[in-house]
Amino acid sequence: MSNTSDPFRAARTSDGVLKAEFQGETLPMILRHEDVRRAAKDWKTYSSDAPFRVPIPSEEDARSMRQLPVETDPPDHTDFREIIEPVFRRAKDPAVVTRVETLIDELLTEGLSRDSIEIVREFALPLQSRALGYLLNVPDTEADEWIRWGVHVFRDGGDGKPKGAELEAYLCRQFDRAVAQPGEDFFSVLARATFHGRPLTREEMMGFGNLTFAGGRDTIIYTVAYVLAYLGRRPEALEYLRQDPARIVHASEEFFRMVTPLTHIGRVCPVDTDVQGVAVKAGGRVSLCWASANRDETVFEAPDEVRLDRKPNPHLAFGFGAHLCIGAMHARLIVRTLLQKCVERISGVTVLEATERIEHEVTYQRFVSYDVLKVRLAPR
């Protein structure tokens, strides 16, 4: 695997910051674990109140509304987040857990019945989409449409339509339905929600929906692909987990640390700011680089190695501070259940074909996961 290469190490161990170009804009990337955590907590200096500019690259061409609650600061962020937290806490609902277990069983059964299965689009994509449907409490048939959107709703699929157009049209239909015929699903929760004593606007509902479908999609898909590729190339890992299934929790966290599909996230400085020796003008952006922080050798021994028993493991794969990923419980449910079911049902994974996903930027290249991963699954 190419993931042993850390493109940020040299800059992290010297200045702790890297000036990198994105879409013609030069941003300082904050790289060290402690520096990233400190910045993530300091929303007054490093603000998220910046529509379209929190993702890197920015997404003005991909959507027409502010994503909520991620593109706001406290106290509004706190109040917006409270609206949808009950939906995402359903990842701990026994009924949801059982449905995810059944789904993974079914996907493994399908894979075991075939000579090979392509993990990214035939396994991880339907896994993420259908499991999200359970979380949002919508009919199973809804996931059929989400699967057609591909791995990323802005950068994959679309049938020639502008980026994000299919998602926005879908959200409009769902909110129209929820207003006319409310139920107990995600869209209905937002349709009857209030913010500071008033109903949510349609744009605010759309902002919640946009983030829900765009934010945790490719990240989970690429993590699942990485996990199965690792099990294929390190067959002893399955036996290690099989000896004590309690090890699955630590192993899952190590996979999240190692993959970190979201390289970084943007913040905007409201005033002129010195970012570790780099001058950022008011309104300028900086990068909080989770991927670098998760390889910080002052925090993680042998950071380029997967250590399934790593503990403590203070990784930042789900962010840090007020903006800690609201879907973290859901991601953990999927990856832990996948490992548990592989331990129970799989004797081995043979990698037949693998096309690495490399993030190509002007200043660095980073292995993320796989665009294609064809494997053969062997039953126990």
DSSP string, 307-343: -TT--S----TT--GGG--TTHHHHHHHHHHHHHHHH
Are the CB atoms for 355 and 327 separated by under 8 Å?
no
pLDDT digits (tens, 9 = 90+) for 119-175: 999 999 999 999 999 999 999 999 999 999 999 988 775 455 566 888 999 999 999
Mean pLDDT of 202-221: 96
**For residue 261, what are its two tokens?**
């599909």
Predicted local confidence at residue 96, as pLDDT: 98
Kindly report whether the global pTM for this prediction surpasses the value 0.85. Answer: yes
Give the Å distances, CA to CA, from 175 to 171, 178, 217, 251, 331: 6, 5, 21, 39, 25
Share of the chain above pLDDT 70, in %: 97
Residue 356 belongs to domain with CATH number:
1.10.630.10
Question: Under 8 Å CB-to-CB from 365, ≥6 apart: which residues?
Answer: 7, 358, 359
Both structure tokens of 79: 């109040």
Q: 293, 363, 325, 367: which is closest to 22 by C-alpha?
A: 363
104, 343 contact by CB (below 8 A): no
Question: pLDDT tens digits, residue range 57-97?
Answer: 899 888 999 999 999 999 999 999 999 999 999 999 999 99
Write the CA distances from 171 to 30, 191, 212, 242, 276, integer angstroms.
35, 12, 11, 42, 41
From CA 227, how far away is CA 341, in angstroms rounded? Answer: 13
Q: Find all residues with CB under 8 Å of 101, minimum gap 6, and list them.
A: 337, 341
Q: Fill in the DSSP letter of residue 16.
A: S
> How many domains, in total, are found in the chain?
1
Q: What's the mean pLDDT in 274-295?
A: 97
Question: Which among 299, 342, 261 is positioned nearest to 32, based on CA atoms?
Answer: 299
Q: Which residues contact 209 (CB under 8 A, 6 or more apart)?
A: 167, 171, 174, 175, 186, 187, 190
pLDDT at 2 over 90: no
Q: Are the CB atoms for 119 and 99 separated by under 8 Å?
A: no
Boundaries of domain holding 291: 2-379
